[in-house]
Amino acid sequence: MRSGLKLWPGFPFRKITSAWGIALEARGVTLVCLGRSDVGEIRVQRAMHLLPPAWAQATDSHHDWLVQALSEASEQEVRRHRRLAVALPMDRCRSGQIDCPVFLSAEALQAEVQLEAAQSLNVSAQEVSFDLEVHATGSPVAQRVSWLACLRSEVHAWHRHTRAAGWRLPAIEPHEQAVRRAAQALRGGARNLQAQPHQDWQFSELGTTASAGHDVPEEVLSSLRGTPAWAWLCACGAGLRALS
C-alpha cells in the first residue's frame, strides 16, 4: 500500500450506516457526521467547527488536541464502526498526470509517479505518500496516469491521531475532490448550497442516478471558496467517502 491517500474508495465487508468527514483549514477543523437511512437517504447528523486550544499552538502539539475531540465526538459509537476521512487543503497536496509506456511494470510505474510527486513537493522520494490511477488513452503504446500526493509525515500523523482516538482512517484526499463529490451528490442541486443551512443538507448514494445526474459549474464552486459553506461541503464530501 503506497499511502493513505485515495483517488477512489475501497470495498468494505459490511454496510456502513454512519461515518465522519473532517476538513482541515488554516486554523481549526470542520467536522461532520453523515448517517444513512434505510431508504438510502444520507443526512447530516452532527456538525461542528473546532478551534485548537491555546496550549495546542506549539509545533510539537500539532493536531494532538484533535485526539480528545474525536474521542468525545464518537464516544457513543462502537469503536470498530468509527470511520473518518480527511480532506487536506491543496497547498498541502499535489496532483498531476503523466503519460507512460504501457509496458512498464507496476513497480516501475509507481517509481515514476513517486519521483514526479517528490519533485512537485520538492522533497526526497522517501518523504512522499501517493496514490495513482491508470487511464486508457486509446494508444496501444501509451497510458495516462493520474496521481495524488502529500508528505508521508502528514499521512502518518493522521493515522496516528485517528488510531489514538479509536477511529479508522480509510482515505485522505484534497479539498477539491471532497467538495465536488458532495456538490454532485447534494439533493436539490447546487441551489441548495445557499438556500439551506448545512445541518439540513441531504445527499444521494454515490453512484446512483440521482448523484450522477448533474455537474456543478466551476463558477458555483469558485464562489464558495473561503466561505463557511465551502468547509461544510468539504467535510460532507469526506464523510461521503468514508461511507462508500
Which pLDDT band holds residue 18 (cuts at 50, 70, 90)? Answer: confident
Between 130 and 219, whose confidence is greater? 130
What's the pLDDT score for residue 227? 82
- SS3 sequence of 20-74: EEEEECCCCEEEEEEEECCCCCEEEEEEEEECCCHHHHCHHHCCCHHHHHHHHHC
Distance between CA atoms of residues 157 and 184, nearest Å: 30
Q: Give residue limits of the domains in the chain.
A: 18-90+153-243, 93-152
Q: Range with the lowest mean pLDDT among 46-50, 64-68, 133-137, 210-214?
A: 210-214
Q: Bridge-partner residues for 132, per DSSP? A: 147
CATH number of 93-152: 3.30.1490.300
- DSSP string for residues in 111-162: HHHHHHHHHHHTS-GGGEEEEEEEEE-S-SSEEEEEEEEEEHHHHHHHHHHH
Residue 3's pLDDT is: 56
- What pLDDT is stored for residue 80 in this prediction? 61
Domain at 18-90+153-243, CATH class: alpha beta
Domains 18-90+153-243 and 93-152 share a fold: no
Cell of 221: 464552486
- pLDDT for residue 232: 94
Query: What was the pLDDT predicted at 62?
Result: 52
pTM for this entry: 0.81
What does the block give as the cell for 8?
477512489
What does pLDDT average to over the chain? 82
Mean pLDDT value of segment 53-65: 63
CA terminus-to-terminus distance, the chain? 19
Q: Is the pLDDT of residue 126 over 90?
A: yes
> What gap in Å lies between CA 120 and CA 37, rounded to an integer?
42
**5: pLDDT strictly greater than 70:** no
